[in-house]
Amino acid sequence: MAVVSALSQTDWDDLAQRARRRRLLSQSALIAFLVATTLPVLLPYFWMVAISFSAKSGGVASSLLWQAVSVLIPAVIAIALVRTFAATRRTKTWGSLVIVAVAFGLIAVLVGPRLHLENYRFLWVRDIVAELPSRQGTAGVGTQFPSVWSAFGNSLLLALSQTVIVSTVSTFAGYYLSRFSFPGRASFLQSLLVLHAFPAMTLIIPIFLIMFWTGLIDTVFGVLLVIVTLELPFSIFIMKGFFDGVPWDIEMSAMTDGASRRQAFFKVVLPQVRVGLIAIAVFSFIKGWEEYVFVRTLLIEKSNWMMSLYLFWVADDIMGVDYGIVAAVGVFYVMPSLFLYLFFQKYLTQLNIGGVKG
């Protein structure tokens, strides 16, 4: 009886009130944490873009950066708040859009007049070093700077070739490893993982020597071979995981339906691992696009420069560091990876290693 009467005296409104308060508190804490961790990630990119459009003759206008940041930070917080507390999907979308528009407006008003495209002149000037004021008249040995488009082309060639080779080889190898048994299969699988765990940097001198002796040094093809080799073990392993997730039944079904094993593979099995294939392709493209260490070691001739080398020499070699140009080259360098991610985001988020999801 005592328990019953105690229950009947419970103040339900008070309990509900307390629960509401607790929920509000934990949600605010979560938002504060997310904002605090997001900003350090976001800021460098924001600054890079801001500097690339604003820096003049090497100097960075720090007042401009702070003005821009003073708009950005409130905007990020405001979007976080709207996303969390807006009741309907509509208000969420419209609220965020309004904030973004306001932020852009403010930035345009505050810093707009001081923005310029001067730092992007590397896109249309053939040799940016030669026409630097400080280098006028000096005819140094290392001044012949290649065009950014040649580096862009080289990087694209390397990244695309790597994508094609890695996707093709790891698809077939992954399928074979998943479906067929052969002597040494288990140790082969283990060695794939060991190879992946092995730090590639330790191989750099032997690889240099091999390249030197085989005459592949200073060729894009040589670098391609090296990075494809290093990339393959893990890709094969991931593709094997995806093929493991495709039931035997549908393959057998295709064969009783009249397909040959090859037709069954291309028409029925391959479409099931599309997500894995796209992920492998995107990752190997980006890997090739950002490759620096082997490019730096194995390529000497300027006509063979990749984007990463171009960025390095822009930052290091020429001009007592022109932050504006470095930032602009950085923005240019990041673009393809960024577009690729945005375009394939849908598939990449479905990726869970070792299986097909969704």
Q: Which stretches of the chain bind other proteins, using CB under 8 A?
A: 247, 249-250, 252-260, 263, 267-268, 271-272, 274
Residue closer to other proteins by CB (options 70, 263) is 263
At 131, list the tokens.
């026409």
Q: Angle 328-334-337 (CA atoms, 0-180°, nearest 5)?
A: 160
Given the structure tokens 């992954």, which residue do they identify?
Answer: 174
**Separation in Å, CA 31 to CA 17, 101, 347:** 21, 22, 27
In this complex, which beta carbon is closest to other proteins, that of residue 169 or of residue 268?
Answer: 268
Residue closer to other proteins, measured from CB, 232 or 239: 239
Q: How far is the CB of 261 from other proteins (least distance, A)?
A: 9
**25, two tokens:** 């508190």
Which is closer to other proteins, CB of 214 or CB of 263?
263
User: Closest approach of Cβ 265 to other proteins, in Å?
Assistant: 13
What is the Cα–Cα distance from 245 to 356, expressed in whole angstroms? 6
Query: Minimal distance in Å, beta carbon 273 to other proteins?
Result: 11
Alpha helices for 198-273 (secondary structure H): 204-214, 220-244, 248-256, 261-264, 270-272
Q: How many helices (H) and strands (E) does the chain have?
A: 15, 0
CB of 276 to other proteins, least distance (A): 14
Phi first, then psi: give them for residue 345, nearest 5 degrees. -50, -40
Report, in Å, the least distance between residue 258 CB and other proteins.
3
Alpha-carbon distance of 174 to 116, in angstroms, equals 50
Nearer to other proteins, 27 or 253 (CB): 253
The nearer residue to other proteins, 104 or 266, going by C-beta atoms, is 266
Helices 323-348 & 148-179 angle (0-180, nearest 10): 30
Measure the CA angle with vertex 274, ends 272 and 275; round to 5°: 110
Q: Which is nearer to other proteins, 44 or 271 (CB)?
A: 271
Which residues are registered as beta bridge partners of 59?
Answer: 56
Say if residues 150 and 301 touch (Cβ distance below 8 Å). no
CB 274 → other proteins: shortest distance, Å? 8
CB of 240 to other proteins, least distance (A): 20
